[in-house]
Chains A and B, each alone.
Chain A
């Protein structure tokens, strides 16, 4: 019986760690989508950044250089997306999917050519990856029942990018709801014509939104390869970008509900790992392969069943063409 709180705490900690990349990517997507640009390319940006971060960290031995490279890769892709969708009024879903497919091939080709490990990057050690941080007071609070356990296992002991993800939620919420940039961002996603009439550049705003999204997405990808894992593995984003996008939609394009959706998806993933091989009442042991599909099934069920019709930013997906 005494083990139950510990197990619960460990599950919660695993959920937090699993949610971090989703939160960062979803908040990145929030900038793009609130500005009126569909961001299905989250997956590709994550994967590119994971590769760039791991490759750079492997060569330089510095995790911070890795993060910088990851962010640069994601921002570059965001700019390519903007070039196609904003400057040339291209189809945003097609552009995003094109980038996803290109990155999935490119990371494998470059990884194979540079490191000759079947598309993987060398295992990182020491300064090449972010280690868990023990927050001050973890040992002092250890004796306090309940709180001590919660603080030690769930709040403390994560790497720096998890805390970055946690900090990003209020920061993004404040930026979008309380600043001039946020007001304009929301306006350009609802009614770009009005923004244009007010003398503000629609394209400029949308590019800025994409770059901001790229930075967050870069952190998310770097988290996968140099914080959560210790190397880049082929296609390691494994649909997390799409899950983040689903979380964003499920969260109605708002930071706090999106955080909730990310935690839910992460918990589903933790639960599926734990459920493997455990008999369920009435069903028996569910085969591993089917349990692994749980987060995806959950996504479909949530999008179809609970959200109802999600109210997207009104101008989303529509290229803005100035009247002539």
Chain B
């Protein structure tokens, strides 16, 4: 080992933050190649994207509104990840939770808003957890792989929702498959309205109370994973199943609990979309947020603080991507999916690829810091 110079030691301290930043840059560079292939200018696209996402108070509001969804799904994926499980079913869990929230809102016409909100959080969590419970149980008790079953449950959820919206819940005398609009007392307060009540103008955007729920969820997940016995059990199982069994932890129970919590978190997406913005149940309202959650969790190193930052990044990509597609019609919203996939590839599967060159540059972090 060469002697650690002060500058190298300084860099080494920064390495945990440096690596995701480097990986992100690499993923964006790969995306730039795709943009070039399509025949657009990558730097101009990046500038349009950034202005679209952060250029005004409204734009920032939209970015944070998308980020709210991704915090929920990112936390969902991360909790499962810590238990050694890969929950690809957040999309389905969110849409089934939306069904629960919609049924509640349709029936809660005369309730006071705070009561509806509390009930909706519980219902969204319960429906999401319920939809995750079956794959979890199958994994824990029957050994069928949770990755495949959660994917299948996404397809099944989509079929169930289509059936219910087309044949059962559709507003009579209407073509598009969606429910009637909920009564106004069941809508989540928009933050720009709250701010205007306090004398502040933050621009009109769909950002609503669920953003605060997302912050609270992040804090709760942090407490749960690192400051409770159950969180400890969950992480031990994820690190080493043999050690967990030896330590008296029942893997089957932890798997089921972890997946249920994961599903409940994913279910909270419906607060933002169904109660906060659309005020009715639509098809595919989750809009791919479940899959974005995978990227968000990986980018955020499965830590709530990191997930918050990564969610804002992806919120910016979604919002900026929408603006971008107006100016560059060749770059449809699908470009965001490409960037998302490349980020998962580079930050997730290839996370070690840049570690070694980086360590060669700044020296290895001590083993204790690397965990």
Which residues of A are in contact with B by a Cβ distance under 8 Å?
40, 80, 83-85, 88-95, 97-106, 108-110, 112-113, 119, 239, 242, 245-246, 249, 287-290, 292-293, 296-297, 299-300, 303-305, 307-310
Contacts and interface: CB of A to CB of B under 8 A. Distances in A.
A190 B160 CA distance: 40
B345 A310 contact: no
B153 A102 contact: no
B146 to A, nearest CB: 10
B349 A303 contact: no
B145 A102 contact: no
Contact of A108 (B37, B162, B334, B340): B334
Q: Give 4 closest A-B pairs by Cβ, nearest first.
A: A102-B341, A105-B337, A95-B349, A90-B349
Interface stretch (B55-63, B125-133, B270-278, B350-358): B350-358
19 contacts: A84-B345, A89-B352, A90-B349, A90-B351, A91-B349, A92-B349, A95-B350, A97-B294, A102-B344, A102-B345, A108-B334, A112-B332, A113-B38, A242-B151, A293-B156, A300-B149, A303-B144, A303-B149, A307-B144
Nearest to B148: A246
B65 interface: no
A310 B145 CA distance: 9
A151 to B, nearest CB: 36
A102 B342 contact: yes
A94 B349 CA distance: 6
Contacts of B337: 101-102, 104-105, 108
B331 A94 contact: no
Contacts, number: 159
B350 A104 contact: no
A289 B39 CA distance: 40
Contacts of B134: 300
B345 A300 contact: no
Nearest to B151: A242
A303 B135 CA distance: 11
Contacts of B349: 84-85, 88, 90-92, 94-95, 98
B158 to A, nearest CB: 8
A88 B354 CA distance: 9
Contact of B144 (A85, A100, A304): A304
Nearest to B356: A88
A98 B332 contact: no
B332 A109 contact: yes
Please report whether the interface of chain A is mostly helix, strand, loop or mixed according to DSSP: helix
B46 interface: no
Interface size class of B (residues with CB under 8 A): 35 or more
Given A94-B86, A102-B345, A105-B338, A239 B151 contact: yes
Nearest to A290: B163
Nearest to A107: B334
A112 B328 CA distance: 12
Contact of A106 (B34, B135, B147): B34
A95 B345 contact: yes
A280 B163 CA distance: 18
Given A105-B340, A109-B335, A112-B330, A91 B138 contact: no
B243 interface: no
A91 B344 contact: no
B338 A296 contact: no
Contact of A249 (B88, B145, B340): B145
Contacts of B298: 94
Given A98-B341, A303-B149, A309-B143, A108 B351 contact: no
B334 A119 contact: yes
B169 to A, nearest CB: 13
A276 B245 CA distance: 48
Contact of B159 (A245, A289, A305, A307): A289
Contacts of B34: 106, 109
Nearest to B163: A289
Given A94-B344, A297-B156, A109 B144 contact: no
A112 B39 CA distance: 12
Contacts of A296: 152, 155-156, 159
Nearest to A294: B159
B167 interface: yes
B277 to A, nearest CB: 24
Contacts of A99: 341, 345
A256 B126 CA distance: 42
A83 B30 CA distance: 15
B38 A109 contact: yes
Contacts of B342: 98, 102
Contacts of A103: 341
Given A91-B349, A105-B339, A112-B334, 10 more contacts: A101-B294, A101-B340, A108-B334, A109-B332, A112-B330, A289-B167, A293-B155, A304-B138, A304-B149, A308-B142
Contacts of A98: 341-342, 344-345, 348-349
A104 B341 contact: yes
A263 B26 CA distance: 43
* Listed residue (B134, B295, B350) with the most chain A CB atoms within 10 angstroms of its CB: B350
A322 B70 CA distance: 38
Contacts of B334: 104-106, 108-109, 112, 119
B149 A110 contact: no
A94 B152 CA distance: 17
B147 A40 contact: yes
B336 interface: yes
Contacts of B138: 300, 303-304
A126 to B, nearest CB: 29
